[in-house]
């Protein structure tokens, strides 16, 4: 009998969130599941880790017939604790995070706790996928994502994910139209233009509430935002090496970083062979 793959599940919305329950349901059809997730919502935490406070990890009874733990820390903390403590004698075949309540396409990947769990897994040398649904509604339905979560997961287990890469998967909001398919694409060049709404609490003290609008500057048809707008599932391969390789030669050649020091005769500037992005 073929051995079942070991799948670690985490998220950023917390262990009781509907999205992680939808994800666990699918993963149980594929392999052995272990859950390590935050004990409270951690949205927008990015890749934060806990270094100045205690970390607590407790067995959870949230899932039936699934080994699960709730952690007081961030999504990245959850993956670290899972690898080095909960599964210290076992290696997960795949780490999945989500399903996030809200989009993590484009620039949102930098702020996303969902994707930080996946990227932390990639840093630890584990193949990983972050799943998100582009719907901020109060009571959303994840059911239309399940067949695509299963398809992408099975493909990842069968064919592998390149080392150091985490897949950022976003699903369009459920509508009357069926999902058009899956597109592997690049991250759109976009940003949030924030506004800070100053308000008064009941005691008359001012506080600020973050608001703003998402602005897409990218008109390309090969981006995650374009795919989602056409009702496709977007898949963006992400890496944790954030080196702007194209800027290395500019800094070496145009900046005078060592005044008064001339490079040896015949010295050539070495440029990185990595493509931009």
The binding site for a divalent metal cation comprises 12-13, 43, 100
DSSP state of 255: S
Query: Taking Cα atoms as reference points, which of 98, 47, 24, 55 lies closest to residue 240?
Result: 47
Q: What is the C-alpha to C-alpha distance for residues 21 and 29, in angstroms, rounded to an integer?
A: 13
Annotated binding site: 12-13, 43, 100
List the structure tokens of 246.
Answer: 């194209």
Residues comprising the chain, all counted:
277
Query: Taking Cα atoms as reference points, which of 248, 252, 249 lies closest to residue 263?
Result: 252
Q: What is the C-alpha to C-alpha distance for residues 110 and 112, in angstroms, rounded to an integer?
A: 6
Q: What is the C-alpha to C-alpha distance for residues 76 and 101, in angstroms, rounded to an integer?
A: 18
């Amino acid at each position: 009998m073929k051995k079942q793959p070991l799948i670690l599940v985490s998220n950023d919305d917390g262990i009781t969130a509907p999205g992680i329950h939808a994800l666990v349901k699918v993963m149980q059809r594929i392999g052995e599941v272990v859950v390590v997730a935050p004990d409270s919502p951690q949205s927008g935490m990015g890749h934060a880790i806990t270094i100045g406070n205690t970390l607590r990890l407790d067995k959870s009874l949230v899932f039936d017939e699934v080994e699960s733990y709730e952690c007081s820390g961030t999504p990245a903390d959850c993956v670290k604790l899972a690898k080095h403590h909960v599964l210290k004698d076992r290696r997960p075949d795949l780490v999945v995070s989500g399903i996030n309540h809200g989009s993590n396409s484009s620039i949102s990947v930098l702020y996303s706790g969902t994707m930080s769990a996946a990227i932390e897994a990639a840093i630890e040398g584990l193949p990983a996928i972050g799943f998100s649904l582009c719907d901020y509604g109060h009571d959303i339905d994840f059911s239309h994502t399940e067949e695509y979560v299963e398809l992408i997961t099975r493909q990842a287990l069968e064919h592998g994910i390149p080392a150091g890469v985490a897949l950022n998967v976003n699903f369009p909001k459920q509508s009357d139209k069926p999902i058009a398919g899956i597109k592997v694409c690049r991250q759109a060049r976009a940003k949030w233009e924030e506004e800070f709404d100053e308000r008064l609490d009941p005691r008359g003290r001012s506080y600020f509430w973050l608001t703003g609008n998402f602005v897409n500057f990218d008109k390309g048809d090969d981006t995650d935002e374009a795919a989602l707008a056409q009702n496709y599932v977007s898949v963006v391969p992400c890496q944790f090496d954030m080196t702007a390789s194209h800027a290395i030669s500019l800094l070496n050649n145009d900046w005078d970083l060592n005044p008064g020091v001339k490079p040896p005769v015949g010295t050539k500037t070495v440029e990185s062979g990595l493509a931009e992005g």
